[in-house]
Chain A
Amino acid sequence: MPKPDYASLFAQYEVETDPAVREQLWDQIFVFGPEMDANGHPIFLPGETVEDYLLTPEEEELFEYTKRDYVENNPGTIVAGSEEYVLPFYVLEGYINIEASTIPPYVLFGYVDENYFEAPSSIGDFIAYVGEYYNESGETT
């Protein structure tokens, strides 16, 4: 049995609606090597070698989730001197700085500046948007 024409079989599988035929096509696609005898020895057609069963890069790509190189490497890890897109804390180190007086803080411990939210003493069952407790029953943040 020669190497399957993977691209053609995938194209047929994609448009086929009969479940039984789709299953047959699926089985034909997932063949990777010559037919074997009971001892695991290959049964080659005349003039055939194992090299006739090796996949081309294009055929291998048919079995990938995406086309090769669709997802680029993070340049921060590839090009010397470039910055990473993402650091352990999601932004460049020092971008959020609550110590240096020259850079006003974007975010403090409670996600917003102290007194950013102003609310009456109670809203419905809640006594505050932000704080140690959400409600009088003691549910904590």
Chain B
Amino acid sequence: MPGIARLGLDSHIGHPCNGTPKGHPKPFHKTNYAVAGQTKVTVNGAFAVLGAGNGSTACGDPAVGMSAWVKVGTTLIGVHRIGDATGGHPCHFVPNACATGSPTVIAFK
């Protein structure tokens, strides 16, 4: 079972921009999750990152994929986990996936 992504501790795989107009593409970058989307549940001392676009990395890559079983926060949205999809962000930085997560707190699909 994949570990839950944690605010400030975990990152996505990273991504470059794949645009083709003049001034593109743009270089690869990789950042940690900077928005959890909730302030109720912590994992290993850091807030659990929510999926469905509620959480995001520092570069603005939204946490899209999430557990359908483990939901937290007041709105009961699934937690984002290792391997779950991210959505990409402007200008043309492509979708990728959560790269790291808690080694001890996991969530079912």
Contact = CB atoms under 8 A, between A and B. Distances in A.
Interface of A: 26, 29-34, 36, 39-42, 44, 49-51, 53-55, 60, 63-65
A64 B18 contact: no
Contacts of B94: 30-32
Given A26-B20, A32-B97, 20 more contacts: A29-B18, A31-B94, A32-B94, A33-B13, A33-B95, A33-B96, A36-B65, A39-B65, A40-B64, A40-B85, A41-B65, A41-B109, A42-B97, A50-B13, A50-B83, A50-B99, A53-B97, A60-B14, A60-B30, A63-B28
Closest 10 CB pairs of A and B: A40-B65, A33-B97, A40-B85, A42-B83, A32-B96, A63-B28, A30-B18, A63-B16, A33-B96, A50-B83
B16 to A, nearest CB: 4
B66 interface: yes
Main secondary structure of the interface of B (DSSP, over half): loop
Contacts of B30: 60
Interface of B: 2, 13-16, 18, 20, 25, 27-28, 30, 51, 64-66, 68, 82-85, 94-99, 109
Given A30-B18, A39-B65, A64 B27 contact: yes
Contacts of B65: 36, 39-42
Contacts of A33: 13, 83, 85, 95-97
13 contacts: A30-B18, A32-B13, A40-B51, A41-B65, A41-B84, A41-B85, A42-B85, A44-B83, A51-B99, A53-B13, A54-B99, A55-B13, A63-B28
Contacts of A36: 65, 85, 97
Contacts of A54: 13, 99
Contacts of A40: 51, 64-66, 84-85
B97 A50 contact: yes
Nearest to A66: B27
